[in-house]
């Protein structure tokens, strides 16, 4: 089926059906080719390829999706436990508190992507300069200065994390989900966390799939002159609630545990 039927001509003129047909064939043959490579193969300009793909064919360029390799047993476990947890969210334990843990380095320098971060202006001299230091200071969230093994992790959980969760919960029931670091998965740690640990899944831990990345984007839009400024920015962003957890569980169930 051709995807070129249009009743309204765009500002670039009527679509060349031969170009559209060749573009569609090339894209369907290999969707990983760049616009520049397609233009070279089709003998036309990069802008013509962009107009053909985006406007005539109605295609879009998306980032590749990455997923963990999962066994059938793991997929089934995720599907069953994800459905159960989603059901609890809707009914039995809708008011249950859920705590998630992970760690991340936050640099004092501004975070910038050389390829994708652009600045629209008339002259290159108007583009703001991203200043960076050779060895920027950083803040580790969580676990600064620790070589974490099972004993240290359980000690931190007992004396720091759990008392804080008890204080925040203030008598309300709660569960705790960690990531899959070796010290977190040891028998001693698992025994200690058995009653409070939902099934492990980086696709369903907000700190893995959304939160820490979002925090870093917001806190590193500009350079911080001091570590105190960086810490304050992190705390300010983290104070906002995470709202995508339930949607992620629905995705896991819909995919039969495949994500």
Pair (130, 24) in one structural domain: no
- 147 assigned to some structural domain: yes
The pLDDT of residue 144: 47
**Residues of the domain holding 8:** 1-64
Pair (1, 90) in one structural domain: no
- 190 assigned to some structural domain: yes
- The proportion of the chain whose per-residue pLDDT surpasses 70, expressed as a percent, equals 57
The top-scoring range by mean pLDDT among 90-104, 138-152, 177-191, 220-234 is 220-234
Q: Is pLDDT of 148 > 80?
A: no
The pLDDT of residue 11: 46
Pair (48, 98) in one structural domain: no
**Of 64, 96, 114, which marks where a domain is finished?**
64
- 259 assigned to some structural domain: no
Pair (1, 34) in one structural domain: yes
Pair (42, 88) in one structural domain: no
The pLDDT of residue 39: 86
CATH value at residue 18? 1.10.10
Count up the domains in the chain and report the number. Answer: 2
Pair (219, 180) in one structural domain: yes
Looking at every residue in the chain, the average pLDDT score rounds to 70
Pair (249, 217) in one structural domain: yes
Binned at pLDDT 50, 70 and 90, residue 6 comes out as very low
Q: Is pLDDT of 145 > 60?
A: no
Pair (101, 135) in one structural domain: yes
Sequential DSSP letters for the chain: ------SS-BTTBS--HHHHHHHHHHHHH-TT--HHHHHHHHTS-HHHHHHIIIIIS-----PPP------HHHHHHHHHHHHHHHHHHHTTTTT-EEEE---EEEESSPP--TTT-----SSGGGSPP----SS--EEEES-TT----HHHHHHHIIIIIHHHHHHHHTT--EEEE----HHHHSHHHHHHHGGG-PPP-TTT-HIIIIIHHHHHHHHTSS--SSHHHHHHHHHHHHTSPP--HHHHHHHHHHTTT--
Pair (178, 93) in one structural domain: yes
**Of 64, 92, 118, which marks where a domain is finished?**
64
pLDDT tens by residue, 45-99: 888 888 888 888 888 877 777 777 778 887 887 788 778 777 777 765 556 777 7
pTM of the model: 0.38
- 48 assigned to some structural domain: yes
Pair (30, 9) in one structural domain: yes
């Amino acid at each position: 089926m051709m995807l070129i039927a249009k009743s309204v001509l765009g500002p670039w003129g009527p679509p060349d059906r031969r170009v559209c047909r060749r573009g569609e064939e090339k894209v369907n043959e290999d969707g990983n080719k760049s616009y520049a490579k397609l233009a070279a193969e089709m003998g036309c300009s990069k802008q013509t390829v962009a107009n053909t793909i985006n406007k005539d064919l109605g295609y879009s360029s998306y980032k590749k999706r990455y997923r963990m390799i999962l066994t059938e047993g793991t997929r089934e476990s995720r599907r069953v436990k994800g459905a159960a947890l989603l059901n609890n969210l809707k009914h039995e334990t809708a008011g249950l508190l859920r705590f998630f843990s992970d760690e991340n380095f936050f640099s004092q320098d501004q975070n910038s992507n050389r390829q994708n971060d652009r600045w629209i202006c008339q002259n290159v001299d108007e583009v703001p300069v991203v200043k960076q230091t050779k060895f920027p200071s950083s803040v580790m969230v969580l676990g600064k200065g620790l070589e974490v093994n099972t004993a240290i992790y359980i000690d931190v959980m007992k004396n720091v994390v759990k008392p804080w969760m008890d204080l925040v919960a203030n008598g309300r029931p709660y569960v705790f989900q960690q990531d899959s670091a070796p010290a977190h998965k040891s028998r001693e740690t698992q025994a200690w966390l058995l009653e409070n640990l939902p099934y492990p899944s980086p696709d369903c831990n907000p700190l893995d799939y959304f939160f820490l990345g979002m925090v870093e984007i917001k806190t590193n839009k500009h350079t911080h002159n001091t570590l105190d400024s960086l810490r304050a920015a992190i705390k300010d962003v983290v104070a906002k609630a995470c709202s995508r957890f339930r949607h992620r569980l629905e995705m896991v169930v819909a995919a039969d545990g495949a994500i």
